[in-house]
Amino acid sequence: MNSKNEKVDTELSKSLKLKGSGKGFKLTLDPSMPEDSIKDELSVLFGNLKQLAVNAKVVIDTDGVTGYDHVIKNIKSYLIEKFKVGDVSAYFPENQKIKETDSSKPWMFHRSEVLMLKGRIRSGQKIESKKHIVIAGDVNPGAEISSGGDVIILGRLKGKVHAGVPDKDDAIIFALEFNPTQIHISGITAVGSDEASGKNAEYACIDKNRIIVQDYLKANPFASIPWPEAL
C-alpha cells in the first residue's frame, strides 16, 4: 500500500468525507441518505483514488447515526466489489471512547501477556515463556531467549533468540543494539554476524519466508496500529 494515502483528505463530495488514516482511509457519511446517492458520491471519491483504493482498509464512520446496519452492509459490499478495497469495517463512537479511556489508565483490569525482566541475561542462562518477552538489559553471548510472541531487548542483544514459538510468523525480535549469534522466528533460522549493528535500534521479522533485519525508526512495525493495544 502506497504511503501517499496518509495525506489524502478528499471532500469533493457534499455529504461524504474521505480521509487518509494510517495505511487506509476513514469514510464519514450519513447513512440516512438515499443509498443510491451515497453510492454515486462514493463513485466520485474512490474513482479519484484509482490504484490507492486497491487493497486499502476502509473504516466507515456514521458520525453517531445508528439504525442503518443494512445500509452499511450494502456499502461495504459495494466498495469491495467495485473498487477492490481490502477490508471495510464500521466505526462506533462508543468504541473510541472506551479506547481513549483505556489509554489514559494503567490497564489495571488487563491481564498481561508480557513477561518483563530487568537485568543482564548471562551466558548459560535460558529464559522461556509462552508470552511476549521484554528485557530491560543486555543478553550476553551464550544466553538464550525463547518466546511464544515478540522479544524486545532494551539493551544489547548478543545471544540466541527464538520468537514466535512454535509458528507465530508475525513475531519480531527487537534490540537497541542488534548483534545476535543466532535468531529464530517461527520455524525460520538466521545466523548472526560478527559485525556490529547499525547506529539505530533494529528488529528482525519474516518477509517472504526469510528473516530480514530493518532499522526500527525507518520501518517501524507498529506504525500502522491506529490505537494503543495491550499485549
- What ranges do the domains of the chain cover? 3-91, 114-219
Measure the CA–CA gap between 113 and 54, rounded to whole angstroms: 35
pLDDT at position 47, please? 84
Mean pLDDT of 111-127: 91
Nearest residue to 9 (alpha-carbon basis) of 31, 25, 30, 29: 25
Task: Evaluate the omega torsion of the peptide bond into residue 166 and state whether it is cis, within 30 degrees of 0.
Answer: yes
pLDDT at position 30, please? 87
Reply yes or no on whether the pLDDT at 215 is more than 90.
yes
Residue 110: pLDDT band (50, 70, 90) is: low
pLDDT at position 61, please? 87
How far lies 61's CA from each of 19, 30, 47, in Å?
Answer: 11, 9, 20
- So what CATH class is 3-91? alpha beta
The dihedral built from the CA positions of residue 199, 217, 184 and 144, taken in this order, carries a sign that is positive
Reply yes or no on whether the pLDDT at 100 is more than 50.
no
For residue 72, is it left (φ>0), alpha (ψ between -120 and 50) or beta? alpha
Measure the CA–CA gap between 86 and 194, rounded to whole angstroms: 42
pLDDT at position 13, please? 52
Mean pLDDT of 38-65: 85
Measure the CA–CA gap between 138 and 152, rounded to whole angstroms: 11
Reply yes or no on whether the pLDDT at 68 is more than 70.
yes
pLDDT at position 9, please? 44
Could you tell me the three cell numbers for 196? 556490529
Pairing of strands 132-136, 151-157: parallel
Mean pLDDT of 189-198: 74
Reply yes or no on whether the pLDDT at 118 is more than 90.
yes
Mean pLDDT of the residues in the chain: 83
Helix 69-83 to helix 35-49 angle (10° resolution) is 30
Instruction: For the domain covering 114-219, report its CATH number.
Output: 2.160.20.70
